[in-house]
Amino acid sequence: MTIPSELMYTAEHEWVAINGTIASVGITDYAQHALGDVVYVSLPAEGSRVTTGDPCGEVESTKSVSEIYSPVDGEVIEVNPEVDDDPALVNSDPYGAGWLMKVRLADDGPEPTGLLTADEYAELTKETD
Amino acid sequence: MTMPDAVHSAPGQPRATPLRDVHVRLGATMTEFAGWLMPLRYASETAEHQAVRQAAGLFDLSHMGEIAVAGPAAGAALDYALTGQLSALAPGRAKYTMICAPDGGVLDDLVVYRLGGDDFLIVANAANTGTVLTALAERVRGHDAEVVDRTDEYALIAIQGPHASQILARLTDTDLPAIRYYSGHRATVAGHQVLLARTGYTGEDGFELFADPAGADSLWAALTEAGERDGLRPAGLAARDTLRLEAGMPLYGNELSREVSPFDAGLGRVVALDKPGDFVGRAALAERAQATARHVLTGLTLASRRVARHGHPVVWNGQPCGTVTSGAPSPTLGVPIAMAYLDTDVMAAATPGTGGRLAVDIRGRAEPAQITSLPFYRRERPAPPRTGEHSS
């Protein structure tokens, strides 16, 4: 499983890349592999607010459906339109073309907390593998 | 995100099939299913599904239970134990049948092969093999026949899809066109003695090979090699489930259970009420055959991209009217499909023009659904041979 070292992770298998005040969010390689072929991703509307740890979308695969939990607090400024047309991008390129949404971090909100480093996430997925 | 639990093996040691090392070599994602460690998928389950529809797929089904019933009274014993009239089955032929409880509830659905006059082989679902074995042993008592669990003596490999026959033909001298659907014969395939049956669970033409576990690796390898140029792929349980769902075939634990009769599932044809003699469940099943079923198994097609799954409520004008038994995104049709038990009166009312009022409640949101007759997918069959031969 690929776990890029420059990203942060949640124990629920989302990844987040924070660049200034913008956080890009997706699901991990481990997650896409466990889910199998992704056929549909439902994401929050642009402009809506997401809260750390709250469900903000769903990933439908052949065998199951999983909720996506927001790794950060803030406002959704963009969702990936390519994933709507071609959900298989989440399988083929989960950290790249298969990204899910971009969130502007809340000015008044706390700094993102509870995120895992790549090493910590690798340890977590190793245990349950 | 919430993760599917199927991918992680549960505590306890699941049983491995004779082909486990092959699956590991192929990089399969393994899952525990009915106490067995099985390949869920090798790469993309959608690609595996499509390979079976368009070319061919290779399945390890060694988790299925094989139970031999043999003896001079084996046919009579099975007539008493099962819903079908197995004594009337010609040697070499197979039959889809069920074993029911005295109240008519389904204990399992089965395929029974008559290997010879006194010799039957019953294939049971992995999860139910113990139940079937116990019930058979009890019901056969007093007949001159013996019930033996032979699950460990067989590896079961299925090759399914439009190219299955031409691939297999490269490995055997057996005249494959002479093997009719739902029949099984002893044959030699790639040097292995097998029971070669034209049966399956995918909605495609195909064969199932009951083989010696010791030679399973080499048989799998021979089939893989023979099928390479025809697009044969190994296929896992995930593809098997979407294939059988498109083909409208019931799965025990979903469409079939102890709580439903064969009639509820639209499979009353497996109950031979006209066969002579008593059989377990006869009185209850005769009653169910006469009564109007309270609910009926039907197909549903969804307009949404969200997928109806096992257990989701079905609603008619906002009122609960049934439950989804199986659901998946259909790779062939490109939309979510499902099977569901619906109240009989709603079935009558929910005609195609009114599809908008029928819905599946998917996590609190009603997604419009349309009643669709089963199966969702039917393969194109070659025109029947004009030799006057009857097929059954």
Same fold, B5-61+154-246 and B65-150: no
Q: What integer pLDDT is reported at residue B7 of this predicted model? A: 43
Q: Which two tokens stand for residue A21?
A: 């005040």
CA–CA separation, B13 and B30 (whole Å): 13
Interface with chain B: mutation pick from A62, A67, A124, highest number of B CBs within 10 Å? A62
Q: Are strands B94-100 and A55-61 parallel, antiparallel or unpaired?
A: unpaired
Q: Which fold has domain B5-61+154-246?
A: Gyrase A; domain 2 (3.30.1360)
Q: What are B39's strand-pairing partners?
A: B30
- Taking alpha carbons only, the member of B113, B108, B121, B112 closest to residue B70 is B121
Q: Are B195 and B111 in contact (CB under 8 A)?
A: no
| CB < 8 Å to B41, chain A | 36
**Is B382 a residue whose pLDDT tops 70?**
no
R_g of chain A computed on alpha carbons = 14
CA A83 vs. chain centroid, Å, equals 13
Per domain, the residue ranges of chain B are 5-61+154-246, 65-150, 292-372
**Is A110 a residue whose pLDDT tops 70?**
no
CB contact under 8 A, B2 and A67: yes
Q: What type of residue sits at position B325?
A: T
Q: Does domain B65-150 have CATH number 3.30.70.1400?
A: yes
CB contact under 8 A, B6 and A62: no
CA B194 vs. chain centroid, Å, equals 20
pLDDT in tens, A5-63: 999 999 999 999 999 999 999 999 999 999 999 999 999 999 999 999 999 999 999 98
Indicate if the alpha-carbon torsion angle B61, B71, B148, B211 is positive or negative.
negative
* DSSP assignments along B67-114, one per residue: EEEESTTHHHHHHHHSSS-GGGSPTTBEEEEEEE-TTS-EEEEEEEEE
Homologous superfamily (CATH) for B292-372: Aminomethyltransferase beta-barrel domains (2.40.30.110)
Q: Print burial letters for A40-66: b (CB count within 10 Å at least 16), e (below 16).
A: bbbbbeeeeebebeebbbbbbbbbbbb
pLDDT in tens, B261-291: 999 999 999 999 999 999 999 999 999 999 9
Q: What integer pLDDT is reported at residue B350 of this predicted model? A: 80
Share of chain B above pLDDT 70, in %: 93
Cis peptide before B250 (omega within 30 of 0): no
The complex scores an ipTM of 0.90
Q: What type of residue sits at position B177?
A: P
CB pairs under 8 A between A and B: 70
CA–CA separation, B172 and B187 (whole Å): 8
CB contact under 8 A, B45 and A62: yes
pTM of the model: 0.93
pLDDT band at A106 (very low <50, low <70, confident <90, very high): confident
Interface with chain B: mutation pick from A25, A27, A38, A60, highest number of B CBs within 10 Å? A60
- Taking alpha carbons only, the member of B331, B37, B62 closest to residue B202 is B331
- Taking alpha carbons only, the member of B37, B44, B46, B43 closest to residue B19 is B37
